[in-house]
Structure 1
Amino acid sequence: MERHLPAFNACQGLRRQILHVATLLLCLLIMPASAEPAPGAGRSYILWYRNYDSPAIHALVELALTKTPEYGGFKLVRSEELSQGRVLRELAKGQSRLVDIANVATSAEREAFLNAIPVPVDGGLLGFRVCVVLPESLPLFEGIRSLEDLQDSGIRIGQGSHWPDTPVLEANGIPVVTHSRYEILYGMLRNKRFECFARGVSEVLYDLKVVHDPNLVIEPNLLIAYSMPSYLFVGPKDQQTAHRLQLGLERSISDGSFGRFLIEYYGQAAEVLNLDRRVVIALDNPYLSEDSRSVGRQALSNLRRRLDLLGR
């Protein structure tokens, strides 16, 4: 193993996190079950269409709302097909009629003008990224064992122009090609505008199932890793929704349903993507708030200790 991973010693902390994912997901299976109150008619919450269409995020938001029946019934509504940048601007208005809730990666800037619910929705997996590539591009990735190798390879990474990953990659000396629409990026990859579409390990399997393109594959050897917690966000003045989501997530952690959510929607990724066998390319994320920087480093271990305490 170690002869295949020369970057191992520099990335031990991240590798422990990766291995902890699998341990966490297995351990969470033992958490107790609970009865789910049935939601009735009540407030409609407009969920960003990307999250609404994602089975995992849709299920998590529904779980948090279901756990808080004292706030009344609810209905989730799919938003218009807005870009991530537009969604954030609409939320920041405070009284947008286009969107109420969005799940996106966090940054200090986003936490400054939006209302964050600081529970990593995927247990911290979003900051672990693999490359979706064209099969003919696979030889370009051979021999990459360090950040310096990646910088020297000429490989360009495709990302959304409003995604916080873009400045993180650029700050680490990696060329980035952007577009405002997620769907367009796959066409750009097919047209060889860049060589790697970096996707979180918590989202890539679902992405490729939806795209359903046999000419796109997951590069098997690299794992690009950086602190990037992914939170639910609401408008800065929407304290009621923020409180409801926070309380619902806290209750789901306490009764074990959050653990079962992680198992159901993300448990497959750690195994299928062979995370513990990949070369780890560790990047710095200089754009997190101090609180989220700590969350990014310790999300998995903190969550495990919290579950142990609440499960007693």
Structure 2
Amino acid sequence: MRGTSRLAPVLRAVGMICVVVLAALVVPGRAQAADVAPDGEAPLRIVYPRYSDEGEDTRSLYPLGLLRLALDKMGVRYELRPSEKVMGHSRAIAALRAGAEVNLIWAGTTAEMEGELNPIRMPLTQGLLGHRLFIIRKVDQDRFSAVRTLEDLRQLTAVQGMGWPDVDIMRAAGLPVEALRYELLYSVLQHGRVDYLPRSAYEIYGELASRQAAFPELAVEKSLVLVYPFDMYFFTRKEDTALARVVERGLTLAYQDGSFLTYFKNAPYIRQLLATAELEGRRRIAIPNPLQSPETAALPSNYWLVGQPP
């Protein structure tokens, strides 16, 4: 397998156009679209999914920072709050579709989701979400160091979150995957029920660090990167296109004045990735994404960190 020799230089000079988020006024019990409030009126109340009840959810820090950046660029007054109840990926999508509980989600995109919701087709991490490193048991490093091909990896069993598109992407490539609730992933791995937990390169170190005390036997695998064309979009309801355009303009301004790039490069997960992952030296195993929409596949190549794998 060839290495990711193009990856680090592009990261260092990344010209990243990302993210679009949404805001919508919330009336009791329902999240509904509304125009941006003029000065002097009530601020926008933006409700996003609460993905964890374990204090600060590290998975939400990066996209929420992008949301704040976009709204600040537009001079919009706003309030951000998580949903009252913890919800998994599938429930968050259903809640947004119904216009209840949340008015904004960020999620790995699929053709099906893009048909049901309003996608803002700007990859939030420029494809880093599709660069997967593995959390493994420390004692299993030698087993993974021996993996050279996709066929070798098929002899091991992964675990992913229930409802994550990654489950179907990996299974389509012949990789065994168990799908469980997010809160169970680390536990089943540490207890040996599965062999590895793939997580995106940009988030894996921060996520593991927040759980290291509870799962001291786990570590980031040192030799492999699994790559497929995949990233997160922000999604709104179909009716929320006006608000999506407002936030998109804010993000465009941030990109043009360099503040978006500054945010990306200074994000803790990105800094950790550049300092620790050694992506250039890892063996790259590429698989296709059969869930990808034609519209996403046709995005400009500069939206993607190293171009799309096959």
Q: Which runs of 5+ in 1 are unaligned?
A: 1-6, 29-38, 304-312
How far is the alpha carbon of 1:243 from its aligned partner? 1.6
**Partners of 2:116 and 2:237 in 1: how far apart?**
8
Aligned equivalent of 1:137 = 140
* TM-score (ref. length: structure 1): 0.81
Q: Deviations over 1:34-84 (max 9, x none)?
A: xxxxx9950110012249833212211111121222xx4111011221010
Measured after TM superposition, the shift of residue 296 of structure 1 is 8.7
Residue among 209, 232, 236 paired with 2:234: 232
Equivalences for 1:30-69 in 2 at 5 Å?
42-50=43-51, 53=57, 54-69=60-75
Where do 4+ consecutive residues of structure 1 move more than 6 Å?
none
Report matched runs for 1:26-105 at 5 Å: 42-50=43-51, 53=57, 54-69=60-75, 72-79=76-83, 80-93=85-98, 95-96=99-100, 98-105=101-108
Greater helix content: 1
Partner of 1:22: 11
Asked if residue 111 in structure 1 is aligned to residue 114 in structure 2, the reply is yes
Cα distance in 1, alignment partners of residues 95 and 262 from structure 2: 32
Q: How does 1:1-312 map to 2 (within 5 A)?
A: 7-8=1-2, 15=4, 17-25=6-14, 42-50=43-51, 53=57, 54-69=60-75, 72-79=76-83, 80-93=85-98, 95-96=99-100, 98-151=101-154, 154-179=155-180, 181-212=181-212, 213-265=215-267, 266-295=270-299, 298-300=302-304
Q: Deviations over 1:262-312 (max 9, x none)?
A: 101123313311011100001111110112123496523699xxxxxxxxx
**TM-align CA RMSD:** 2.4
**1:24–1:115: structure 2 CA closer, same or farther, 3 Å change rule?**
same
The more displaced of 113-122 and 170-179 is: 113-122
1:240 Cα shift?
3.0
**Is contact 1:229-1:296 (8 Å) kept?**
no
Does structure 1 conserve the Cα–Cα contact (< 8 Å) formed by 2:111 and 2:293? yes
The percent identity for this pair of structures is: 28
Contact 1:177 1:193 in 2 (8 A): no
Query: 1:262–1:273: structure 2 CA closer, same or farther, 3 Å change rule?
Result: same
Question: What TM-score comes out, normalization by structure 2 length?
Answer: 0.82
Q: Deviations over 1:188-223 (max 9, x none)?
A: 112222111000011111211221333210000000
